[in-house]
A = this chain, B = another copy of it.
């Protein structure tokens, strides 16, 4: 019960930060208030909806329950009215995206485990939950998805998912595994942006 509470809290924070990344992209793409809110919602819930459909949790959480979408709408409106605040950060879309990536990677992995998937496939589902929202946001605004731009991105999500599995295996408290996995994804992704780290390219 405690555990499911942590999972919900992490999930809602993930929805909120992904919604901000989507809304900031909408501001930059010159969208109106409704377009910004739609992009915020779509970015926030797509990864989770794809995960839920694939593991058979239908209707998906974000469809069954209105809290996630409402939270994303609030985030979209906050960005609409106060986008100058967010723009003071150097890479606001990428930073909030990195936070959502980490949070969804661990919550997605845990939910897939709860639905009976094997650990290695649960990690893949966690990665999909993490990268899904950003892919949809980038495709809708006609950009090459961040996952393909040659940075450390999906790999960071997969690392977080694997750390969660490791924490489960070591029987760490659930909140610690979740926090550990999400933080490592966030730190690795953020460092790779600031330090311009890349993975090897074909010769």
Interface residues of A (CB under 8 A from B): 26-27, 29-36, 38-39, 49, 53-56, 58-60, 63-64, 66, 69, 80-81, 83, 115, 117-118, 120-121, 124-125, 135, 139-142, 144-145, 147-155, 198-202
Contact = CB atoms under 8 A, between A and B. Distances in A.
Contacts of A38: 147-148, 154
A135 B46 CA distance: 14
Nearest to A69: B124
Copies in the complex: 3
A80 B49 CA distance: 32
A64 B202 contact: no
Contact of A121 (B39, B64, B139): B64
A64 B120 CA distance: 10
A199 B26 CA distance: 14
A66 B122 CA distance: 10
A121 B58 contact: no
